Every structure is written in structure tokens, then in C-alpha cells.
Structure 1
Amino acid sequence: MKQGIHPENYRFVIFKDMSNGTAFLSRSTASSKEMLKWEDGNEYPVIKLEISNTSHPFYTGKNILLDTAGRIDKFNKRYAKKA
């Protein structure tokens, strides 16, 4: 690995999923002005996320069903003239 190209200001931050309220503690270089008290009693900066692995349909198993048959028919109708 090349020396001197990686950031050195890693610190603990709380990532909070705003869609379901879950939070986890990790290290990051992202900056934030908001602080939140964690389970260990210390305060850490908070990074707000719109979606995380606790709310993403792929990880939760609650996939959204897509109308694939309609998409295929639409594709075939559009490009049938060129074939």
C-alpha cells in the first residue's frame, strides 16, 4: 500500500438509520456537528443515513415485486419493428 494517501483522522461515530431508528457504532472520517450519547456513556458524532442494512429490502427479505411481465411486453412491442 502507498504511504501517505489514506486519511489518518479516523474516529468513532454513530451511524443512525432514520427510516427505522436503529444505530451502530463504527469508525469513520465523516464529519458531523450533532452528537449523541451511546450505550457506553460516551458522546459521539452522529451520521444520519436514509437506508442501511437494517431497512434495505435486500437484507430484510421484504423485496418489492416488480411488474416484469409488463416490462418484457413493453420491450418486445417497442423493438419488434426493428427485428
Structure 2
Amino acid sequence: MQQDKHPEYRPVVFRDRAAGYAFLTRSTATSEQTIEWDDGESYPVVDVEISSESHPFYTGKARTVDSEGRVARFERRYGGRPGEGSGPTG
């Protein structure tokens, strides 16, 4: 690795304010704000809007929204669901 070409890689705290969750990891992200961590050290803190603690996919709260009736349109176009005796596969 060439010297003086890459950003500093150091411990940084990422804080998800929506979930009230923070975690310490290594990153090149920078911040003017700092936070005192559980180990007594002070680290830069980066506030994020969403993390694995608040994202619907990871929390199991994800849902599928069929706002345009795509399933009904598919069934009209292709004659129902497979295995029901209609359409090219049934």
C-alpha cells in the first residue's frame, strides 16, 4: 500500500438514533462529534438513519405491498396459479 494516499482506518462508533443502538467498528468515516464508549475511550461518532437494528428486513417486519394488483393482473393474464388446471402449466 502506498503511503499518504489512503484515508486513516480507525475505530468509529455508528449510532442509529431511531433504534437507540450504537456499535463500535473500524472505518474511514470521519466526524467532528465524539462519544465516550464503554471501555472509557473517546471515539468519533457517526449518526445513521437506519442500521440492521431498525431496518425492516433484518427486524422481520418487512412486508410485501401489492399496491397495483400485480398478482391479480398476472392471474388474469396467465389464467390462475400453477396446479389449478388452467394455463399452460396446469
TM-score band w.r.t. shorter chain: 0.7 to 0.9
Cross-structure match for 1:44? 43
Indicate the percent of aligned positions where both proteins have the same amino acid.
48
Larger RCO, structure (CA 8 Å, separation 6 or more):
1
Give the number of the structure whose residues are more often helix, by fraction.
1
Relative to the length of structure 2, the TM-score reads: 0.68
What residue number does 1:58 align with? 57
Larger radius of gyration: 2
> Is residue 4 from structure 1 mapped to residue 2 from structure 2 by the alignment?
yes
TM-score (norm 1): 0.73
Please, which runs of 5 or more residues in structure 2 have no aligned partner?
A: 75-90
Cα deviation, residue 24, structure 1: 0.3
Shift in Å, 1:36: 0.5
Gaps of 5+ in 1: 76-83
Q: Report the RMSD for the aligned CA atoms in angstroms.
A: 2.8
- In structure 2, the partner of 1:35 is 34
The number of residue pairs the alignment matches comes to: 75
Equivalent residue, structure 2, for 1:23? 22
